[in-house]
């Protein structure tokens, strides 16, 4: 076992982990932060996306030991200080950007990373950025609309509808 | 996963020492290795994480040569832009979260037969720099998942000559986001090089017939009379050997047109 220390959602945390402990397992099982979902566990689906030092990564494909000393942000840290939903989360609610909700934590974290990098993405850019986030309800249209709305842009009438 | 120790050296020298243990395995971004470990297809005693080695980070341009540290992520190469065709290639590997972790040395050390970077390294005539020596790309790739690396040897950087013109065309296999067929064309001062990934059972290879034709006439029509043999091409549920052989020529033509 090795001791790891990291800042998770602004709070210093530490724990003992095995070499093989994944960051997703550390967050869910050690820290009780079960908002980060494990969908496929093969780095395909993106339900486990968190930010490590500000960058979106798949937490099921990173070892907890590799995140030692890092700043980690998860879905639990996304709400505003007063507990209200942040602009992306609110847009997902307003535009019905979730059906079963399983992929939503990863979608929101990927959307946050996209909007930090590209504050006014086009619809095509949103879809391209979400290539590694799979919604098995196939609710992509409303997810895209939510992200467009969260970026302060007009919500497009989507061609495929 | 079977359990293993994790070591995070801070220098190349420390990493080389850490790799001296039996069954030690270098860990780049882990975007292939961790899924492999989850399937219990490998059981290293120790993973030597290279992401904290500062000497292996970053991109520097020296004249017409681009030097990329081995631990540099795909996202960093994509954002660089000094070698546009290489940045474009990096921007299309996997998905954004994978590109934030995956590294150039990790990709080259694994030498997946459908990976993108091997095509860029081979077509550009890159030099693979390790902790002990420099290896020309032509000598480095030795077949599917096979390279010239010795046990415990670490790729610390890759040096790319920046071609006069270059382009990479990837026919994406949409489920894996690897290349069903990918072709990298580079027009260098001493001729044209064409490297193909995703197609052959032998891994990345040069299409020398096309190189000859394109060195005389750098246009897609120079390929008109050529054909690629399906012998030893990959056949799987995504495409037959004949289909892949056909795609090699199509994607080469597109790359030449885009590079011209």
B65-69 and B155-161 strand pairing: antiparallel
Instruction: Name B191's bridge partners.
Output: B188
Is residue B53 in some structural domain? Answer: no
Q: Give pLDDT tens digits for B177-196.
A: 899 999 999 999 999 999 99
Q: How many domains does chain B have?
A: 2
CA distance B242 to B227: 11
Is residue B121 in some structural domain? Answer: no
What's the whole-number average pLDDT of chain A?
95
Q: How many interchain CB pairs under 8 A, A with B?
A: 74
pLDDT for the residue A157: 78
Is residue B31 in some structural domain? Answer: yes
Is residue B201 in some structural domain? Answer: yes
Mutate which of A1, A53, A57, A70 to test chain B, going by most B C-beta atoms within 10 A?
Answer: A57
Which ipTM did the prediction report? 0.95
Is residue B101 in some structural domain? Answer: no
Regions in chain B scoring below 70 on pLDDT: 260
Is residue B90 in some structural domain? Answer: no
Task: Extract the tokens encoding B189.
Answer: 């001062």
Question: Is B1 touching A (CB cutoff 8 A)?
Answer: yes
Q: Is the pLDDT of residue A160 over 80?
A: no
Looking at the partner chain, which of A20, A56, A61 has a beta carbon nearest the beta carbon of B3? A20
Q: Are B260 and B252 in contact (CB under 8 A)?
A: no
| Phi, psi (rounded to 5 degrees) for A51 | -105, 130
Question: Is B40 touching A (CB cutoff 8 A)?
Answer: no
Q: Give pLDDT tens digits for A18-37.
A: 999 999 999 999 999 999 99
Domain limits for position B242? 165-259
CA distance A124 to A63: 32
Q: Is the pLDDT of residue A158 over 90?
A: no
Q: Is the pLDDT of residue A159 over 70?
A: no
Q: Band of the pLDDT at A8, cuts 50, 70, 90?
A: very high
pLDDT for the residue A161: 60
Residue of B nearest to A55 (CA): B100
CA distance A19 to B166: 42
B8/A61 CB distance under 8 A: no
Q: Is the pLDDT of residue A78 over 70?
A: yes
CATH of the domain at B253: 3.30.390.50
Is residue B120 in some structural domain? Answer: no
pLDDT for the residue B184: 98
Q: Is the pLDDT of residue A155 over 90?
A: no
CATH of the domain at B30: 3.30.43.10
Task: Extract the tokens encoding B175.
Answer: 């489920």
pLDDT for the residue B30: 97
Is residue B10 in some structural domain? Answer: yes
| Phi, psi (rounded to 5 degrees) for A153 | -100, 165
Q: Could you give all domains of chain A from N- to C-terminal order, each with its CATH number? A: 2-77 (3.10.20.30), 87-150 (1.10.150.120)
Instruction: Name B48's bridge partners.
Output: B7, B26
């Amino acid at each position: 076992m090795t001791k790891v220390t990291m800042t998770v959602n602004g709070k210093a945390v530490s724990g003992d982990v095995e070499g093989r402990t994944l960051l997703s397992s550390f967050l869910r099982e050690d820290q009780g932060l079960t908002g980060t979902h494990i969908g496929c566990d093969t780095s395909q689906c993106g339900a486990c996306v968190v930010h490590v030092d500000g960058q979106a990564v798949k937490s099921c494909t990173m070892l907890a030991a590799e995140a030692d000393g890092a700043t980690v942000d998860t879905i639990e840290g996304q709400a505003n200080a007063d507990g209200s939903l942040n602009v992306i989360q609110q847009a997902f609610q307003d535009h019905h950007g979730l059906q079963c909700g399983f992929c939503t934590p990863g979608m929101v974290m990927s959307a946050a990373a996209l909007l930090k990098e590209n504050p006014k993405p086009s619809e095509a850019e949103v879809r391209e950025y979400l290539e590694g986030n799979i919604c098995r309800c196939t609710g992509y249209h409303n997810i895209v609309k939510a992200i467009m709305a969260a970026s302060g842009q007009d919500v497009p009438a989507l061609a495929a509808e | 996963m079977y359990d293993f120790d994790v070591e995070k050296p801070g220098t190349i020298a420390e990493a080389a020492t850490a790799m001296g243990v039996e069954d030690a395995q270098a860990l780049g971004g882990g975007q292939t290795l961790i899924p492999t470990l989850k399937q219990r297809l490998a059981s290293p005693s120790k993973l030597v994480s290279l992401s904290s080695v500062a000497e292996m980070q970053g991109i520097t341009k020296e004249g017409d040569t681009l030097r990329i540290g081995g631990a540099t992520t795909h996202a960093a190469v994509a954002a660089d832009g000094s070698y546009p065709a290489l940045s474009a290639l990096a921007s299309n590997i996997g998905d954004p979260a994978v590109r934030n972790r995956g590294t150039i040395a990790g990709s080259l050390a694994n030498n997946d037969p459908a990976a993108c970077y091997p095509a860029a390294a081979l077509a550009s005539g890159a030099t693979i720099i390790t902790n002990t020596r420099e290896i020309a790309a032509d000598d480095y790739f030795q077949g599917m998942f096979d390279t010239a690396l010795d046990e415990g040897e670490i790729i610390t950087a890759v040096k790319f000559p920046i071609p006069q013109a270059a382009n990479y065309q990837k026919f994406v296999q949409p489920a894996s986001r690897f290349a069903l067929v990918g072709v990298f064309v580079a027009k260098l001062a001493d001729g044209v090089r064409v490297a193909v990934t995703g197609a052959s059972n032998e891994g990345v290879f040069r299409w020398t017939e096309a190189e000859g034709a394109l060195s005389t006439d750098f246009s897609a029509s120079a390929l008109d009379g050529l054909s690629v043999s399906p012998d030893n091409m990959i056949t799987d549920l995504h495409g037959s050997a004949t289909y892949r052989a056909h795609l090699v020529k199509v994607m080469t033509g597109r790359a030449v047109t885009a590079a011209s």
